[in-house]
Structure 1
């Protein structure tokens, strides 16, 4: 059991280190010696877990893909097939790109010319947005004359732009910037019956604010 735990910690450290190096240097320039040194393990330990650099990149992308899946699944569970689900998932994804090195490294690999030909995180995100908006259109959630395909193209192009620009300037990934995007776009995409209920800053922001307000009221009532 101790050996298994140690092996799991080593593998985790290598994936974290590799994600950071891939994010900073790209796949071609990243060296296994740099990755192992930053992980605090020997080259032998690295090769015990991963046969080569490509296998390590696959592991980074797989872990990042699982994180993205959890983000989109949680948004869909909370909001169903709706524009709000896409808004919420966008905020969560941009937050993960800003704060989670595995997600950042995975997306850097997704846009790396040396890794073309693979199913990438960008494709995973695009397919989820398309599928969700297709069902939202079927449910009457989109404005008249607006198609799910056009909506998806705009959203995917914008979020990919945030991701790329955020690699050099993290402010592009801020909740404020993403909220401003939705403030501009939602009035064009959403049906009138839904527009007033949509939260451009993400529904979790409203829920957190309501929780803080209830807590403050309770505190005052107890004084």
Structure 2
């Protein structure tokens, strides 16, 4: 059992080291030697767990996808305020992207030309945004002239953009940018001017 535990820890260390390298240098410029050094293991140990850098990238994506699934659990049809769930979840995701290097690196792979795979996590986020806005529309919470596809694009792009800008400028705060975005977008989506904008990113606010 101790040997199995040690193998699990080594694998987790390698995934985190790979994520740190992808986040810092991009997939193409990250090297297996740097990743093994960052994990504090030998190159032989790395190759025992992963046959290639692409396998490491896939493992980073898989670990991040598990985290994302917990963040974007489906909004219950009975929830009294799907738009509130949408706002709070966008803030929670932005917060986790600043804190969790594995999640951030996996999202970064989605716009990394050297990765050359589908932007799986962004596609999952967009699908969740669409489902939540659809629920809001079915409940009559969207303004009559709101085009669902346009709303999905705007909300998805807001989180994508804040994450990318946060990488380029340490002074940029994704959570602050989203608060400003929602102060403009939420009244437009709901058709209620002067609507108070929830900015909480506490998981406790996401479900009734």
Do they fold alike, i.e. is TM over 0.5? yes
- Residue by residue over 1:9-44, the C-alpha shift from the partner in whole angstroms, topping out at 9 and shown as x without a partner, is 101100110000001111111100000000000001
Q: Which has the larger helix fraction? A: 1
RMSD: 2.4
Decide whether aligned partners of structure 1 residues 24 and 123 sit closer, same or farther in structure 2, where only a CA change above 3 A counts.
same
1:219 corresponds to which residue?
A: none
Name which one, 1 or 2, has greater alpha-carbon Rg. Answer: 1
Q: Secondary structure at the match of 1:29?
A: coil
Q: Distance in 2 between matches of 1:203 and 1:14?
A: 30
1:83 to 2:90 alignment? no
1:204 corresponds to which residue?
A: 202
Q: Distance in 1 between matches of 2:198 and 2:130?
A: 19
Task: Indicate conservation of the 8 Å contact 1:171/1:177, yes or no.
Answer: no
How many residues align? The count is 204
Aligned-pair distance for 1:154? 0.8
Q: Secondary structure at the match of 1:167?
A: helix
Decide whether aligned partners of structure 1 residues 56 and 203 sit closer, same or farther in structure 2, where only a CA change above 3 A counts.
closer
1:214 corresponds to which residue?
A: none
Aligned-pair distance for 1:200? 2.5
1:109 to 2:119 alignment? no
Q: Distance in 1 between matches of 2:71 and 2:51?
A: 30
- TM-score norm. by structure 2 comes to 0.89
In the alignment, structure 2 segments of 5+ residues that lack a partner are none
Q: Distance in 1 between matches of 2:201 and 2:140?
A: 20
1:16 to 2:16 alignment? yes
Q: Distance in 2 between matches of 1:206 and 1:70?
A: 13
Q: Distance in 2 between matches of 1:142 and 1:34?
A: 50
- Residue by residue over 1:110-167, the C-alpha shift from the partner in whole angstroms, topping out at 9 and shown as x without a partner, is 1111223435211111111112112221221111211221111111111111111111
- TM-score norm. by structure 1 comes to 0.83
